[in-house]
A and B are shown apart, each in its own frame.
Chain A
């Protein structure tokens, strides 16, 4: 009950963004609550990554309102996003191959005891987080170069959990992974939801999206083109919304109706 009534952990409304003459986003809205997985799907150049970058504070919107827990905010830079409890994993993962798992997790925010690095505390915390994700990385002291693509994705997701974030944004986490690695990442996404995080999942793979998402938001040519409940929607319906074969049936009124009543 309290979950449903709380303000969205993050809500974006009427977001516009243009690059010169190209209107990348126009009047896009998106909201995600705690304990919810919202999938953002759409064709290439639909504006998914632009929206993710706005949430992460990498890009600034030209217009629109962003609210965090119902309070209007501006996300001026990635540090501001971090301060708001928003953690993002981008497609390139931004991990360092020559550093080990612990060093990657704490890069730029190392724990210190006096002047020295507190290696022990960092290692313990890294183990705890990887375990909470039920991750299959045997050693937290393995250099990243020795890990598989799926394990790297696990490390990148684990890194987002360090600052106890409220919102986790995952950009194409299952692209270029094998089936068992995909299974691992999808289990992580389920786990993040169970831990009470709000998750925004950007993906091309409809099977993966429908497996874990509570809600699926479709973007087309930089506009919202449909919002579906993850449990009920069929594959064809989503594809129709992505290609533009179906008009945007915004479910917001319907979905919020019984809740606000």
Chain B
């Protein structure tokens, strides 16, 4: 999360220097965990004395790691210590099938505050966007920032998005969110530009910019979650396709006589490896589970849950192989909640990709787990918001066009 500091003057553990370093880390951790704290609160949160906190805070301010703001929350004036932010703030938002994640970051992409929230199945647009807007405002207040410090918002949705209008381009994929200019609606509530994008595309962007696909010109990001999708980076640029549906491997037909999918077609990959299908397979043996239970039990080693995840990996791998044959990427990065099971999912997925893709002796295709984990999409949303905002030389921010 936080760029780890390289300790050049190596000190022996237990020495004065290493103790001071440990205390500094503890303090920075506490500030990041709570967004913003007063020095008295910091002392209590870290267990350090107020004098030590005061000294360390002074050092950290000088080093540009933290800064102080005067707040007058609950009627009292207080100096709030927050992570130092450069120029302004952007928000990255990920709306998932069952969770909402809101992250505030500054222009150096440092996360200053974040909050998660569970969402109901088939949640609706109106309450969803209300909650997003209120959470962003709450987080701004938590770090002691004014609303006009928020310069842009990146929004990740689990559906193909037409980036020109900010509308979902395939009906039925995210029920209850169709036919609305989502970007425009949220933008009105926050008085800030909002850039809407598909979550797998943003995951691809994040893994390419600062994750497992760093340095690869062409890469595929596979997102295995409640639904399945992929994002493509070609020649270092995100490839959206004409209407934003590029890489929608969840809607590739794999069983011609299979059930009808939400998108209206038949036998899509998602009808076989989507959360509903996976949970249904376990219902008789394991009773009703959630996808989070399946992931937790697969990690713990439950054979049934491991089998379901592994088989899903193999099915997804076959579809990824077709896509990879078409565009010949340098690497495939696997993300989404199911990737938390690590090799349980990625092992069979890799095997299926390598079995079906055109064998290439010069540069064999790599299939790896994402480095950013489940934060890839929201960090991609932050990156999108940052790319869309230009910073002028005098430090003021200027709105640009979508990248």
Contacts and interface: CB of A to CB of B under 8 A. Distances in A.
Interface of A: 1, 3-4, 35, 136, 138-142, 146, 178-180, 182-184, 186-187, 189-190, 194, 206-207, 209-212, 214, 229-232, 234, 255, 258-259, 261
Contacts of A210: 120-121
B134 interface: yes
Interface string B100-130: 1000000000000001111111110001001
Interface stretch (B284-292, B346-354, B388-396): B284-292
Nearest to A259: B287
Given A138-B37, A179-B138, A190 B118 contact: yes
Given A3-B287, A139-B45, A214-B288, A180 B118 contact: no
Interface size grouping (class) on chain B? 35 or more
Contacts of A184: 115
A206 B285 CA distance: 30
Most chain-A CB neighbours within 10 Å: which of B34, B121, B304? Answer: B121
Given A182-B117, A211-B98, A211-B119, 8 more contacts: A179-B138, A180-B115, A180-B138, A180-B142, A189-B118, A207-B123, A207-B127, A210-B121
Nearest to A33: B287
A234 to B, nearest CB: 7
A261 B134 CA distance: 47
B131 A179 contact: yes
A196 to B, nearest CB: 11
Contacts of A232: 121
Contacts of B115: 180, 183-184
A236 B122 CA distance: 12
A206 B121 CA distance: 12
B35 to A, nearest CB: 8
A76 to B, nearest CB: 33
18 contacts: A1-B304, A138-B37, A138-B41, A139-B44, A140-B44, A178-B138, A183-B100, A183-B115, A183-B131, A187-B117, A194-B292, A194-B296, A207-B127, A209-B120, A211-B117, A212-B118, A214-B288, A258-B283
Nearest to A127: B47
A186 B118 contact: yes
Nearest to B284: A258
B222 interface: no
A210 B292 CA distance: 16
Given A1-B285, A194-B292, A141 B44 contact: yes
Q: Which 6 A-B pairs have the closest CB atoms?
A: A139-B44, A4-B287, A210-B120, A183-B117, A180-B138, A179-B134
A232 B279 CA distance: 12
B134 A180 contact: yes
B33 interface: yes
B134 A1 contact: no
A209 B127 CA distance: 14
A138 B30 contact: yes
A214 B139 CA distance: 29
Most chain-B CB neighbours within 10 Å: which of A146, A183, A212? Answer: A183
A258 B282 CA distance: 11
A1 B302 CA distance: 10
B73 to A, nearest CB: 10
Contacts of B123: 207, 211
